[in-house]
Amino acid sequence: MTEYKKLVALTDLLSADVTNLCSSIAKATHVAEDGKKGANAAAPSNTVADPEQLYLVSSRIYQSIVDGCPRIRKMVLKARETDPNKQIYNETMCRKIEELLKSFCSILQQLVPSFSSENVEPQNASQESKAENTNPVEVVLGIDFDVEAIMERSPALEKAEEVHNQYILKRSQEEAWQSRVEHGLSDVVTFESQNRFVVAAEEKFDRAALVERKRSDKARIIRLLEERETAKWKAELQRRDAEQKLLQEKTEAIHNVANIPSVLLAALPDAAMRRKLVGHTRQLITALLRTPEDLNIRRLRNNNEHLIGDYGHPCLIAINSADGKQCLCAPAVNVAEVLWCRIGYSIRYTNVPNRSVESVRLEKRGEELVLPCGRPLSVHTYSPLGFEDYSERFFELVEPNVMEEPDDWMVWYNMMQEMERVLTELLSS
């Protein structure tokens, strides 16, 4: 018998075995589902193949595919030889070989419905090679084709192995294994073989149970982390809302800019610190009246080193080791933010975090940058507010639009001039 006829016979046997296996598995699944649903009448016992028979058929299918794939590949490559000196088949025979390959691939697709180039291509394969192997027939001929990987994706083979494992486990619990040793050496050998199946089946079920437990634990941990992150973000949004409301309430106290001196005196009893704050604020107002379009003054970033040196930072505090009192940076920046809001600034937060002041504090620059209290940045302690993991905090000027709201803009402009006058009088007093 020629190699072609042998492969035809192998393909025919494989086709019959695959059809038989798929049919038996489908019947077994149908009976199991009826049992779960509490069917009144169970299916006849002869509608489901014997587990031993299923195992024999699946083993024969496995062997046929492992044996047939390289042989068919070799024959097809010879049939596709383009060198006339190396061609050994005529055109009729080449067509028959191609038809044999298609039949073999069709059986593979019946056995493994998910069989495609995405399932078998290696992860590092190039885009060109993937494009060439979109046809399952060409995939089988590829040098990277992995028969073992395809077999592991077969639902029918997997179900047959599961049924056989359950059958072996059931037999191991029902039969008196020790009594079989008395019937001779052949029974002992059979027992040992079946015992290995029992151990392998138990190990497989244990591994599956362990994987499922780990998957459940991972999902539970991920869900817990997501819940914590959601709660953290919700708390940050509530903090921002409370911060905005508190700042608006404080700003109402200086709606009449004539009240600024008394508010500054109550918040900053230290005359030198108060004078520094008034001077920097007046400079800001003067710059806004002259060049309101300058982005450097329209946005006041809390992390900006110049702004920290002039006003401080809401998260920075220094403790005096002698008397245990806090520095005046926090009160100063709090009053400054109220003045900014009266000018027309509003708190904003970016969508991404930025470099923290804490990192600058630990560098050499932290010893050079002096804050309004007179101490360097390095001796201050950074106390996070909560936005650091999500955003950068800054103030943005939102004055009335001179083209769309000219009357409101004039009111704002006059208020700025009056505020500049009040601050100038404070400096000259």
Is residue 156 one of the residues assigned to a domain?
A: yes
CB 153 within 8 A of CB 112: yes
191 and 330, same structural domain?
no
- Per residue in 110-121, pLDDT (tens digit) is 888 877 544 444
198 and 260, same structural domain?
no
Mean pLDDT in each 10-residue stretch from start to end of the chain (429 residues)? 86 91 82 58 49 88 90 90 86 91 89 63 46 62 77 85 84 61 61 78 84 88 93 94 94 94 92 93 94 90 92 89 83 95 95 82 86 90 89 94 92 95 92
306 and 200, same structural domain?
no
Is residue 375 one of the residues assigned to a domain?
A: yes
- Per residue in 214-238, pLDDT (tens digit) is 888 888 999 999 999 999 999 999 9
Is residue 315 one of the residues assigned to a domain?
A: yes
304 and 169, same structural domain?
no
271 and 197, same structural domain?
no
Domain stop point among 150, 174, 206: 206
How many structural domains are present in the chain?
Answer: 2
306 and 159, same structural domain?
no
Q: Which H/E stretch holds residue 346? A: strand 345-349
Is residue 130 one of the residues assigned to a domain?
A: no
Quote the CA–CA distance of 227 and 230 in Å, as a whole number.
5
Domain stop point among 185, 206, 227: 206
State residue 259's pLDDT score: 94
Is residue 41 one of the residues assigned to a domain?
A: no
Burial (CB count within 10 angstroms: exposed 0-12, middle 13-18, buried 19+), residue 153:
middle
User: Which position has the token pair 């959601």?
Assistant: 230
State residue 95's pLDDT score: 92
309 and 175, same structural domain?
no
Tokens at 365, concatenated: 């620059």
173 and 59, same structural domain?
yes
Domain stop point among 190, 206, 222: 206
User: Which position has the token pair 């024999």?
Assistant: 56
289 and 400, same structural domain?
yes
Quote the CA–CA distance of 85 and 89 in Å, as a whole number.
11
Is residue 348 one of the residues assigned to a domain?
A: yes
Is residue 249 one of the residues assigned to a domain?
A: no
State residue 234's pLDDT score: 95
268 and 200, same structural domain?
no
State residue 142's pLDDT score: 73
Residue 162 domain boundaries: 1-32+47-115+136-206
State residue 116's pLDDT score: 58
State residue 243's pLDDT score: 94
298 and 186, same structural domain?
no
Backbone angles phi, psi at 51, to 5 degrees: -55, -40
Is residue 126 one of the residues assigned to a domain?
A: no
417 and 281, same structural domain?
yes
State residue 300's pLDDT score: 94
- Per residue in 21-64, pLDDT (tens digit) is 888 888 877 766 665 555 444 444 444 468 888 889 989 998 99
